[in-house]
Amino acid sequence: MTTPKHFLTMLDYDKEMIQALLEDAKQLKKELKEGTPHPHLKGKTLAMIFEKSSTRTRVSFEVGMLQLGGHALFLSSNEIQLGRGEPISDTAKVLSGYVDGIMIRTFGHSRIEELADQATIPVINGLTNEHHPCQVMADLLTIQEQKGTLEGLTASYIGDGFNNVAHSLIQGLCLMGMHVKVASPEGYEPDPAIMHEAEVIAGEQGGSLAFSHSAQTAIQDSDVVITDVWASMGNEAEKEQRLNDFQGFQVNQELTEHAKDDYIFLHCLPAHRGEEVTSEIIDGSHSVVFEEAENRLHAQKAILKKLL
């Protein structure tokens, strides 16, 4: 598999490429901690388009470009013509003449696909409604750091299956040969096409993929426990309904007693404490959520270095 020009979903890369990126992320992280400069992108510029707000995505990409010797431009939809009706194709062509790469955080995945199709420079998915691959790269890096490996581990995702984090996790964890168990309430199952494709990939890599409507079934003997908010960005109007529908899917002390004694807990943040997870868990000894958040920086620097 030749190196793709863009990074739009986890399946743009094969297992070996993902592992190479993770190793590079570890090296960049080590160099940063040691105070060793690594200006691999000196003179390079990244356009960051935000049609959805963010804390971690903006800070990690902007700081990452700075640490790599480059420069990042923050472009909100209120400040560029894309938010005032300019076709995506025109924006892609114009930016291709100005900058060396584009990171976009947007709505429907078709928007980023059109941007990548029309741009002559690399495009990185900072988040779409359907996929969040940069987050999952940080998750994989965190799991590998904490457990020493990815292959053969059992990971459970508990919560809304039909969201961007769940979809990218399913793809990424299966691609790396993990045993993946997903639990969601009825009506909140992951995209069937993503599940089918990931199940085939998991089998090829020596892993597995299973779905359940029972959080207790999914979390049984897990090495890694992952959740996300029940009402993601854009679903706020459904919050009350979702709070009712997701009863029994909160990651709490009682539920995690079914995981392995040395399990680790991940959450992409921001968290709604007392809803999808209790403070006891997210602040507890098994939680690595803040290491995970920091690893957004290191994983994305490896992606930027590779593509730019």
Q: Which residues participate in catalysis according to the annotation?
A: 105, 132, 135, 228, 268, 296
* CA-based max dimension of the chain: 55
User: Is 134 part of any known ligand binding site?
Assistant: yes
Q: How far is C-alpha 174 from the chain's CA centre?
A: 14
Is 220 known to sit in a ligand binding site?
no
Is residue 84 part of an annotated ligand binding site? no
Residue 270: name the closest of 240, 228, 236 by CA: 228
| Residue 233 assigned as binding residue | yes
Alpha-carbon distance 95 to 86, whole Å? 13
67 is in an annotated binding site: no
Name every residue whose Cβ is closer than 8 Å to that of residue 70 and which is 6 or more positions away in sequence. 41, 42, 43, 44, 45, 46, 100, 304, 308
Bridge-based pairing of strands 154-158 and 45-50 is unpaired
Directed axis angle between helix 15-34 and helix 164-175, to 10°? 100
Is position 174 annotated in a ligand binding site? no
Task: Flag whether 48 is marked binding.
Answer: no
Please tell me whether residue 236 adopts helix, strand or coil conformation: helix
To the question of whether residue 111 is assigned a binding role by annotation, the answer is no
- Residue 192 is labelled as binding a ligand: no
- Residue 288's φ and ψ, nearest 5 degrees, are -125, 30
Is 125 flagged in the annotation as binding?
no
Binding residues for L-ornithine: 164, 228, 232-233
Binding residues for carbamoyl phosphate: 54-57, 81, 105, 132-135, 268-269, 296
Binding residues: 54-57, 81, 105, 132-135, 164, 228, 232-233, 268-269, 296
